């Protein structure tokens, strides 16, 4: 496989330094991407760079994931309007270990392969670098004029906020430039990759290398991912879509991809999966014939949920998704965990009842009219039950006098009441 060709058909090349393609065709290349360790999980905004490393390794080259332990303490001004919080060493190490675990699902760190992935942290080579050594050995090679010309700096100095740029953030591009120099000299890394907002930092690194040891290195960036409607990719009302299930459940993760637009699905399936060009072309053709079946979204959601979580998590997410559309059974409902249940029924009306009401049982007609006011009157409830219009935990309720006890509770806490086909209510026993 040719790495650049692979990225090009996937729509993953934005800028590339002259000679990059020739280098990749000629030898096994070591390349790196920087990852900010400000949290103990990656979110889907990181995935484009991670997929670049994955494709790189699949094409026989060697990927390096650089955790920005030192630079993460400062914050990259590129595309940002505010300074970062500074992290302590313990937090950084914890975040690094968590991120490596996630990256292991995309990259091979553990085999004996010549091109196995490696994880490095720039804090390891920056922590003993004194300020005087840094300004003498690095700072003298790059002029202020050169640094001021970078878009990331210009935007912060002339942007709407006009809150300027601290010296700390101004030096960021020198720190990232030095990372490139260090990785070239210690690991033979000749290619740096990242999002298009990193182009300025990457070219500063190449310039520092040229001026210090005269070697030529290369850079390649991918476009920043956007949504077709102009909204920010990966952001939802509840915040980022994380790879860690503690922050975004596998069900919500699956739902995010399942609900992207047709236009976005056609782009994302190239970027966020390793499906071949032939398979993607075939899926796209099938989708265009029957867009309502959402063939692209379903395959995209499957591929990426299995890759980030597991086959079991994917199957559970599909089962949970079917609950809302009436295809599932009481058995399915009882299988899903509490987090998934709450994710599926996020936003539906909720009612709280005393759990003690279920000790000896309470009649359905009393529970759902007097205690949880789901139905306006007992007459209305009787009429709906007679017409098969009420379900409890996905089973038809055929007797208004039925005693509801603790054994009906889902996860020992919830009752799911359905009025008609689409109106759900969650009763919480406390």
Nearest CA to 60 out of 5, 115, 118, 10 is that of 115
Active site residue 197: yes
Of the candidates 94, 140, 154, 232, the residue annotated as catalytic is: 232
Active site residue 140: no
Of the candidates 15, 197, 244, 339, the residue annotated as catalytic is: 197
What is d(CA 182, CA 188) in angstroms, rounded to the nearest whole number?
9
Active site residue 235: yes
Of the candidates 43, 294, 383, 419, the residue annotated as catalytic is: 43
Active site residue 355: no
Of the candidates 57, 96, 176, 273, the residue annotated as catalytic is: 176
What is d(CA 421, CA 67) in angstroms, rounded to the nearest whole number?
50
Helix (H) or strand (E) holding 262: helix 262-271
Active site residue 236: yes
What is d(CA 324, CA 218) in angstroms, rounded to the nearest whole number?
50
Of the candidates 10, 55, 61, 84, the residue annotated as catalytic is: 84
Tell me the Ramachandran region of residue 230: left when phi exceeds 0, alpha when psi lies from -120 to 50, beta otherwise: left
Active site residue 80: yes
Of the candidates 14, 80, 141, 227, the residue annotated as catalytic is: 80
Of the candidates 5, 15, 36, 38, the residue annotated as catalytic is: 38
Q: Are strands 235-236 and 218-222 parallel, antiparallel or unpaired?
A: unpaired
Chain length of the chain: 430
Active site residue 350: no
Give the contacts of 239 (CB within 8 A, at least 6 positions apart).
Answer: none
* CB atoms closer than 10 angstroms to residue 245: 16
Of the candidates 10, 20, 46, 62, the residue annotated as catalytic is: 46
Of the candidates 168, 236, 274, 332, the residue annotated as catalytic is: 236
SS3 content of the chain, % helix, strand, coil (to 5): 50, 15, 35
Active site residue 327: no
Of the candidates 227, 235, 294, 371, the residue annotated as catalytic is: 235
Q: CA-based diameter of the chain, in Å?
A: 87
> Which residues are catalytic, by number?
38, 43, 46, 80, 84, 176, 197, 232, 235-236
């Amino acid at each position: 496989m040719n790495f650049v060709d692979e990225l090009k058909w996937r729509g993953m090349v934005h800028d590339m330094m002259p000679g990059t393609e020739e280098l990749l065709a000629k030898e096994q290349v070591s390349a790196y991407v920087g990852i900010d360790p400000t949290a103990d999980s990656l979110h889907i905004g990181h995935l484009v760079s991670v997929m670049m490393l994955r494709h790189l390794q699949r094409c026989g080259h060697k990927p390096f994931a650089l955790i920005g332990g030192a630079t993460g303490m400062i914050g990259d001004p590129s595309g940002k309007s505010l300074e970062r919080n500074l992290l302590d060493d313990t937090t950084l190490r914890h975040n690094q270990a968590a991120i490596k675990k996630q990256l292991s699902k995309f990259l091979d760190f553990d085999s004996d392969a010549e091109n196995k992935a490696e994880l490095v942290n720039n804090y390891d080579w920056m922590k003993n670098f004194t300020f005087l050594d840094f300004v003498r050995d690095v700072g003298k090679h790059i002029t202020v004029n050169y640094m001021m010309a970078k878009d990331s700096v210009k935007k912060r100095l002339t942007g709407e906020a006009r809150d300027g740029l601290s010296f700390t953030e101004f030096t960021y591009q020198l720190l990232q430039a030095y990372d490139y120099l260090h990785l070239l000299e210690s690991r033979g890394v000749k290619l740096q990759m990242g999002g298009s907002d990193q182009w300025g930092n990457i070219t500063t690194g190449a310039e520092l290398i040229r001026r210090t040891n005269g070697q030529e290195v290369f850079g390649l960036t991918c476009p920043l991912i956007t949504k077709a409607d102009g909204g920010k990719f990966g952001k939802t009302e509840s915040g980022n879509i994380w790879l860690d299930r503690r922050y975004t459940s596998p069900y919500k993760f699956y739902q995010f991809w399942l609900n992207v637009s047709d236009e976005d699905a056609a782009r994302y399936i190239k970027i966020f999966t390793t499906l071949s060009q032939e398979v993607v072309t075939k899926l796209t053709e099938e989708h265009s014939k029957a867009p309502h079946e959402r063939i692209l979204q379903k395959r995209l959601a499957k591929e990426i949920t299995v890759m980030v979580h597991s086959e079991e998590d994917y199957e559970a997410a599909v089962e949970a998704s079917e609950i809302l559309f009436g295809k599932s059974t009481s058995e399915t409902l009882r299988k899903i965990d509490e987090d998934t249940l709450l994710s599926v029924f996020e936003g539906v009306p909720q009612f709280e009842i005393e759990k003690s009401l279920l000790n000896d049982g309470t009649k359905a007609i009393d529970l759902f009219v007097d205690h949880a006011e789901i139905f306006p009157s007992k007459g209305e409830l009787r009429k709906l039950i007679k017409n098969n219009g009420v379900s409890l935990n996905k089973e038809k309720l055929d007797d208004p006098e039925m005693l509801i006890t603790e054994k009906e509770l889902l996860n020992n806490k919830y009752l799911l009441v359905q009025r008609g086909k689409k109106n759900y209510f969650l009763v919480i026993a406390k």
